[in-house]
Amino acid sequence: MGGAVAKENLPKALVPESKLEAKIVEAMQYRESEGTSLRSFNSIILKFPKIDSSLRKCKATFEQFDEDGNGVIDREELKHCLRDLKISFTDEEANDLFEACDIADDTGMKFSEFIVLLCLVYLLKQCPTDLHAKSRMGLPDLESTFETLVEAFVFLDKDHDGYVSRKEMVEAINETTSGGRSSGHIAMKRFEEMDWDRNGMVNFKEFLFAFTRWVGLDNDDEEDEE
Ligand SMILES: [Ca+2]
Ligand SMILES: [Ca+2]
Ligand SMILES: [Ca+2]
């Protein structure tokens, strides 16, 4: 990651960049109003191996939707995928999702990006303002894993505004580790890794991308080129 130089320092943190992001924040805030059963940051860490293996099992699902087998899911394949999972998104919504998750800006989504996309879809489906709310995706294993990821975010976002701030991250870590200096330092490092656009706030999408990198989802069959 290269250190970008001239960055605007506008307080844009709470202004969602797109309609889709606004919806994700809204869905997260709704979900946060229900609370979380997680009690500590450590309990999140302890769940990592289980989440990791569950996501890896999803590789077969990815391959099933990668119809031409070129290793990425393109816009057409995504539409088929959403249709097969009975997720009734409009073409515009599907395209917004695709653009939000195809971060490498290639010809399609690789495995980790696809996982992020499915998890965002899962969250959006929880929101009662969504016309097709609470419909299931038909991927029970994955859905319980996504639920854990959502819960982890809810736990971190203490004031339930849909974003994890630097302060909330430090707070979450200090709660369980008696607040030594090194744990604070690790919290900050984790936060910097998550805050992709460096606006001082981590949204759910950034959180998910960071998570897939931590567990190394794409490392099995390709080298990370960064
Ligand atoms: Ca493909
Ligand atoms: Ca917050
Ligand atoms: Ca951010």
At 143-191, the pLDDT tens digits run: 889 999 999 999 999 999 999 999 998 888 777 655 555 667 777 888 8
Q: DSSP string spanning the chain?
A: -----S------TTS-SSHHHHHHHHHHHHHHTT--S---HHHHHHHHHHHHHHHHHTHHHHHHH-TT-SSSB-HHHHHHHHHHTT----HHHHHHHHHHH-TT-SSSB-HHHHHHHHHHHHHHTT-TTSTTTT---S-HHHHHHHHHHHHHHHHH-TT-SSSEEHHHHHHHHHHHHTT-HHHHHHHHHHHHHH-TT-SSEE-HHHHHHHHHHHTTTTTTTS----
Q: pLDDT of 204-215, one tens digit each? A: 999 999 888 887
pLDDT band at 121 (very low <50, low <70, confident <90, very high): very high
Shortest-distance ligand to the CA of residue 65? 1
Q: How far is the CA of 196 from the centre of ligand 2 (A)?
A: 16
Residues in the 5 Å CB sphere of ion ligand 2 = 157, 159, 161, 163
Rounded average pLDDT over 76-104: 88
pLDDT at 81: 93
Q: Which two tokens stand for residue 79?
A: 């539409």
- What's the pTM? 0.83
Q: How many angstroms does the Cα of residue 215 sit away from the middle of ligand 1?
A: 24
Evaluate whether 135 touches 126 at the Cβ level (below 8 Å).
no
Q: How confident is the model at residue 40 (pLDDT cuts 50, 70, 90)?
A: confident
CB 75 within 8 A of CB 98: yes
C-alpha of residue 24 to centroid of ligand 3, in Å:
14
The string of pLDDT tens digits covering residues 81-92 is 998 888 888 888
CA 193 / ligand 2 centre spacing (Å) = 17
